[in-house]
Each structure stands twice: as structure tokens, then as C-alpha cells.
Amino acid sequence: KAGVTQTPRYLIKTRGQQVTLSCSPISGHRSVSWYQQTPGQGLQFLFEYFSETQRNKGNFPGRFSGRQFSNSRSEMNVSTLELGDSALYLCASSLIGTANNEQFFGPGTRLTVL
Amino acid sequence: AQSVTQPDIHITVSEGASLELRCNYSYGATPYLFWYVQSPGQGLQLLLKYFSGDTLVQGIKGFEAEFKRSQSSFNLRKPSVHWSDAAEYFCAVDPPGGSYIPTFGRGTSLIVHP
């Protein structure tokens, strides 16, 4: 079974631009979660989608948004990029998105904002 | 609010030596507890998890962790470290009964000397 894939793996943008990151979950997984990882703040939860609906949301500004498609693939978008948005963005999928369902992480997308 | 503390930012051990990584949590009830490993350029991989029952939990790659309610701790151990264990280790907690929105510790970087 293929793992979680994220595209692109690396991205360089400038301040003020917007960016879209993509995540393809493991086949059959309906829950997709997004995390931001930075040296300063560590791993922080962004949001979780389940069956095309945002089910949970972390404490991030509205510039961070996401969506999930009917095939469970998910995208996250960051508008009006700031230098502080430079981070590794991780996507994780699980069958139904509860704590007793293991999350499987993708390799991440490394976003650099100049 | 729940929190997770990993007191050691870096730990250096010699190959073949034993290892213990510390994790303390702050939460009213016993949360679900997890340990993840992240190799350079990779996403997170679940090593083991504790929900209830036996307080000594066996995981993959020869790791184990012990839940101690009185100390609010969930320390990760390995009897003999291999060079390939060099990575970043994250402890995470999640309140039981809800969706999977874990709180991660800041991580401990494990360096293995030959």
C-alpha cells in the first residue's frame, strides 16, 4: 500500500504570495490532518478534514485554509505569505481520525518564504 | 490546557548503550500517549502508544515506554541503541474520547556515537 504523499517536497515563495500544498492519503483513509513544524514552535496542529468537512481546527490565522476532495486528497492554502510561515508542513492520514487510529505521516513540504 | 514536556533537547549516547528519553505531561485525566520518531527529511513514524491497561508498552524497533501515573510521565527506553536510531523523538498526548488532535512535545534529538 502506498504511503502518504505530499507535493511538492520543496517550495520557495516570496512574502505576499500564496501557496497551495497537496496531500494524498493512504488509500481508504478518510481523515487528513495538517501540521506545521518549525524550530521555534515545534509541531503545531493546523486542521483536520474528514469526509470533505473540516472537523477540527488549530489556532492559526485565517490565512491558513484547507479543503478535502471526495477521494480524500487534501490541499492546504496559505495566502499573503509571511516570513514566519517558513516551515515544514506535514500531512497525516488515518482511517477515521480518532486517537486509537494510528496516523501515518507524509514526508512533508518544506516551504521557504523569502 | 494539556501540555507535554520533553526536558532534554539533545541526548548523546554511544552505540550499544541503553537509552531513556523523558516525557512529562500535564493533563487532568490520563490522556492517550504516543511516541514518534522523525528521521532527517522524513515525516513522523509512530513508535508506540498507550491508551490503558499494562503500563509497559512495547513498540517497534525495540523501543518500549512505561506510563507512570504518579509522575505523569511516559518515558521511552531502548536497551541497546543502534546508529540508525539517531533521529528526533517526539512525545505526544491526546485527550481520550475526542478526535485526534495531539499536543506534541518539542522533541529530543538523539545523537549516537560509534
Q: Please tell me the predicted confidence (pLDDT) of residue B98.
A: 61
Query: What percent of chain A stands above pLDDT 70?
Result: 99
Counting runs of H as helices and runs of E as strands, what totals does chain B give?
A: 0, 12
Q: Mutating which of B44, B57, B60, B89 best tests the A interface, going by the most A Cβ atoms within 10 A?
A: B44
Amino acid letter, residue A48? E
Q: Is the pLDDT of residue B54 over 70?
A: yes
CB B77 within 8 A of CB B63: yes
Q: Mutating which of B5, B48, B52, B100 best tests the A interface, going by the most A Cβ atoms within 10 A?
A: B100
Q: Where are the beta strands (DSSP E) in B1-63?
A: 3-5, 10-14, 19-21, 24-26, 32-38, 44-50, 56-58
**Residue that has been written with the C-alpha cell 485525566 in this structure:** B29
Q: Which of A31, A43, A94 sits opposite B104 (nearest CB)?
A: A43
Contacts of residue B36 in chain A, CB cutoff 8 Å? 105
Q: What is the pLDDT of residues A5-52, one digit of tens each?
A: 999 999 999 999 999 999 999 999 999 999 999 988 899 999 999 999
CB B17 within 8 A of CB B80: yes
Q: Do B100 and A101 touch (CB under 8 A)?
A: yes
Q: Is the pLDDT of residue B19 over 80?
A: yes
CB B19 within 8 A of CB B81: yes
Q: Do A100 and B32 touch (CB under 8 A)?
A: yes
